[in-house]
C-alpha cells in the first residue's frame, strides 16, 4: 500500500469510529480483517495516522474548519507530519486508492491555519467539559499541559533487576538504540520511527527471557516511590495485568511476599506467565472467589499496600487518544466511587507504621487530591508523607521537583517529567 492509500484507509477507520461510536482498537482490527491484502506494516502505518488525528482532534478541526474524518486526516498529515500540501495533492492524484486531492478550500484552510483565538480546550486538545478540571490542576498553563498529553508517547522499557542490570539490557538492545531514561534508574527509552511506531518488543529475546518489560517511566517511578524492600509483606491491591507487581517484586529481590489482587480475575490472567518469565518467586495471586474475602488473613499485616486505582486514564492520553473523546462526566463519577471503595477496602490491610501508596494515571484533582481528602476524613490514622521526603527515601530526590502545590503528593506528566501523567501519594498508618 502507498502512503496515499494509508490515508484513505485512515479516513475509513475514523468514519467507522464516528458512526459506530466504538474504540479505535476495535475499528482498526475490523478494518484489517476486512482488508486481508494489507500487511502488518501497512496496518501499523494506518493505525499510527489514525492515532495522530485523534490526539489532535480539536486543534486539527479548528484549523481545518471541519471535524470530518477527511479533514482530520488531512490536518494530521499537514500539521502533525508536516507534509506540504502540494506533496499531498501529487501523491493523492497519482494513486487509484487514495482520497481526492485537497480542494481549494482545504488548501486555503491549511495555508491560513492558526490557533490564535482558540480556547484552551482546543489548543490543549481535551474535551471542553474538562476545562474546569484542567484549570484547577494546571491553571493558566492548562492548554500547554493538554497539548503535551496529545504528543506521541515514547516506548519505555523497565529493566528487570532479577534478570540483569541496565548496562546488560543496553547491550542486548543496542540495535534499537535504547538509551537510559532520565529519571528511572531501571528505564530504557527506545526511539520511535518517523511515523510514531516502535519496534516489535514481544519478539525480542531480551523480552522473551524476562530481562525487560514494557512500562512507561512514570509507572516505574510510582513503583519505586512505593518503597518495597526485601523481606516486606506487600499487597498490590489493584494489580491488573501486573506491571507494577513485577516492578515491586524486582525491588524486593524475591524476598518477603507480594500478594497480587484485583476485583476482576480476567485482568490477573496474564500475570502468571509474566511472573514466570520475569523470574519472580515471591508472589501469590489472590484472585476473587465469590463472596469470600481472599485478603482476610492479611488484615493489619502489610508493610506496604499499593493501590493503582481505577481511573479515567487522563494521564495516558498519549497512548489512548480515543479515550479522552469517549470520556463522559458519568464515567468520572463512576471512577470516583470506585476509588473511594478501594481505598476503604485496602486501608485495614496496612499494619501500624506501614504505608499506603495511592496511585492514579490521572491528572484530575477529583481523582487525586479530593480522594485523599475524603479518605483521610474517614481514616484519620493515615498521615501523608511529604512528597519531597518520599522521593528522597526512594533514592530519587529529583522527583521532589514534581510535588503538588500542597506538597503531599507527586504529579508527573509529559510536560513536567517527560512521562505519562501519574499521581503518587504515600501515607503512613499511625
d(CA 417, CA 189): 14
Q: What's the chain's length in residues?
A: 430
Strand (E) positions, 24-166? Answer: 155-159
Q: How many CB atoms lie within 10 A of CB 303?
A: 19
How far apart are alpha carbons 248 and 13 in whole angstroms? 39
107 closest CA partner among 123, 85, 91: 85
- Binding residue per annotation — 104? no
> What pLDDT score was predicted for residue 227?
97
217-429 adopts what CATH topology?
Answer: Rossmann fold (3.40.50)
Residue 207 cell numbers, joined: 523480552
Q: Which of 328, 319, 333, 309 is nearest to 423 (CA)?
A: 309
Exactly one of 361, 387, 410, 425 is catalytic; name it. Answer: 361
3-state secondary structure 226-295: HCCCCCCEEEECCCCCCHHHHHHHHHHCCCCEEEEECCCHHHHCCHHHHHHHHCCCCEEEECCECCECCC
Residue located via cell numbers 495533492: 89
Q: How many Å apart are CA 208 and CA 200, to the nearest integer?
A: 12
Give the dihedral of Cα atoms 157, 306, 331, 409; nearest 10 deg.
-90
- Under a CB-based contact definition with an 8 Å cutoff, are residues 412 and 305 in contact? no
Q: d(Cα 391, Cα 223) in Å, to the nearest integer?
A: 12
Q: Where are the domains of the chain?
A: 3-117, 119-148, 155-214, 217-429
325 vs 290: CA distance, rounded Å? 35
In whole angstroms, give the CA distance from residue 257 to residue 249.
Answer: 8
Q: Span 155-214: which CATH code? A: 3.30.70.1170
78 Cβ neighbours under 8 A, 6+ residues apart: 85, 88, 110, 113
Instruction: Give the C-alpha separation, 261 to 235, whole Å.
Output: 7
Residue 110, Cα to own-chain centre: how many angstroms?
A: 31
Is 308 annotated among the ligand-binding residues? yes
Kindly give the confidence (pLDDT) of every residue in the chain, 430 residues in length, as a single tens digit, with 9 standing for 90 and above.
999 999 999 999 999 999 998 899 999 999 999 998 899 889 999 999 999 999 999 999 999 999 999 999 999 999 999 999 999 999 999 988 899 999 999 999 999 999 999 999 999 999 999 999 999 999 999 999 999 999 999 999 999 999 999 999 999 999 999 999 999 999 999 998 877 778 888 899 999 999 999 999 999 999 999 999 999 999 999 999 999 999 999 999 999 999 999 999 999 999 999 999 999 999 999 999 988 899 999 999 999 999 999 999 999 999 999 999 999 999 999 999 999 999 999 999 999 999 999 999 999 999 999 999 999 999 999 999 999 999 999 999 999 999 999 999 999 999 999 999 999 999 999 9
Torsion angle, CA of 32/316/305/350, rounded to 10 degrees? -130
The DSSP H or E segment spanning 382 is strand 382-384
Residue 362 near residue 421, CB atoms below 8 Å: yes
**Selection from 206, 201, 181, 178 nearest residue 190 by Cα:** 178
The DSSP output letter for 429 is E
Q: How far apart are CA 299 and CA 344, in angstroms?
A: 13
Best CA proximity match to 336, nearest among 375, 279, 287? 375
361 labelled catalytic: yes
Please give the sequence-ordered ranges of beta strands (E in DSSP) within 84-211, or none if there are none: 155-159, 179-180, 187-190
Task: Output the CA–CA distances (angstroms, integers) from residue 119 to 109, 125, 187, in the order listed.
Answer: 19, 10, 37
pLDDT at 263: 93
Judged by DSSP in three states, 158 sits in strand
Joined grid coordinates for residue 196? 510514531
Amino acid at each position: 500500500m502507498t502512503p496515499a492509500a494509508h490515508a484513505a484507509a485512515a479516513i475509513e477507520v475514523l468514519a467507522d469510529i464516528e458512526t459506530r461510536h466504538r474504540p479505535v482498537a476495535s475499528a482498526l482490527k475490523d478494518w484489517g480483517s476486512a482488508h486481508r491484502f494489507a500487511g502488518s506494516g501497512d496496518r501499523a502505518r494506518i493505525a499510527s495516522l489514525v492515532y495522530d488525528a485523534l490526539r489532535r482532534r480539536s486543534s486539527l478541526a479548528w484549523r481545518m474548519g471541519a471535524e470530518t474524518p477527511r479533514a482530520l486526516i488531512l490536518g494530521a498529515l499537514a500539521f502533525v507530519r508536516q507534509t506540504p500540501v502540494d506533496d499531498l495533492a501529487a501523491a493523492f492524484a497519482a494513486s487509484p486508492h487514495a482520497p481526492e486531492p485537497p480542494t481549494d478550500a482545504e488548501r486555503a484552510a491549511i495555508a491560513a491555519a492558526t490557533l490564535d483565538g482558540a480556547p484552551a480546550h482546543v489548543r490543549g486538545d481535551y474535551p471542553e467539559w474538562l476545562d474546569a478540571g484542567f484549570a484547577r490542576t494546571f491553571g493558566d498553563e492548562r492548554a500547554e499541559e493538554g497539548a503535551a498529553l496529545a504528543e506521541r508517547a515514547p516506548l519505555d522499557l523497565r529493566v528487570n533487576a532479577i534478570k540483569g542490570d541496565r548496562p546488560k539490557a543496553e547491550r542486548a538492545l543496542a540495535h534499537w538504540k535504547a538509551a537510559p531514561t532520565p529519571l528511572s534508574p531501571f528505564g530504557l527509552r527506545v526511539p520511535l520511527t518517523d511515523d510514531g511506531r516502535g519496534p516489535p518488543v514481544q519478539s525480542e529475546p531480551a523480552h522473551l527471557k524476562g530481562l525487560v518489560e514494557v512500562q512507561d517511566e512514570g509507572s516505574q517511578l510510582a513503583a519505586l516511590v512505593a518503597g518495597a524492600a526485601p523481606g516486606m509483606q506487600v499487597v498490590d491491591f489493584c494489580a491488573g495485568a501486573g506491571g507494577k507487581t513485577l516492578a515491586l517484586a524486582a525491588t524486593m529481590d524475591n524476598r518477603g511476599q507480594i500478594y497480587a489482587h484485583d476485583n476482576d480475575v480476567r485482568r490477573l490472567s496474564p500475570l502468571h506467565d509474566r511472573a514466570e518469565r520475569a523470574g519472580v518467586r515471591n508472589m501469590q495471586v489472590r484472585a476473587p472467589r465469590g463472596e469470600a474475602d481472599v485478603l482476610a488473613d492479611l488484615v493489619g499485616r502489610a508493610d506496604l499496600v499499593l493501590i493503582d486505582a481505577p481511573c479515567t486514564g487522563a494521564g495516558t492520553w498519549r497512548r489512548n487518544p480515543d479515550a479522552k473523546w469517549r470520556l463522559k462526566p458519568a464515567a468520572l463519577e463512576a471512577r470516583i466511587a470506585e476509588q473511594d471503595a478501594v481505598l476503604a477496602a485496602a486501608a485495614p490491610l496496612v499494619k501500624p507504621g506501614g504505608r499506603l501508596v495511592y496511585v492514579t494515571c490521572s491528572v484530575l484533582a477529583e481523582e487525586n487530591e479530593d480522594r485523599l481528602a475524603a479518605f483521610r476524613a474517614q481514616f484519620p490514622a493515615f498521615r501523608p508523607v511529604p512528597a519531597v521526603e518520599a522521593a528522597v527515601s526512594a533514592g530519587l530526590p529529583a522527583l521532589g521537583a514534581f510535588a503538588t502545590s500542597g506538597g503531599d503528593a507527586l504529579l508527573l506528566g509529559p510536560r513536567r517529567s517527560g512521562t505519562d501523567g501519574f499521581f503518587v501519594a504515600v501515607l503512613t498508618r499511625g
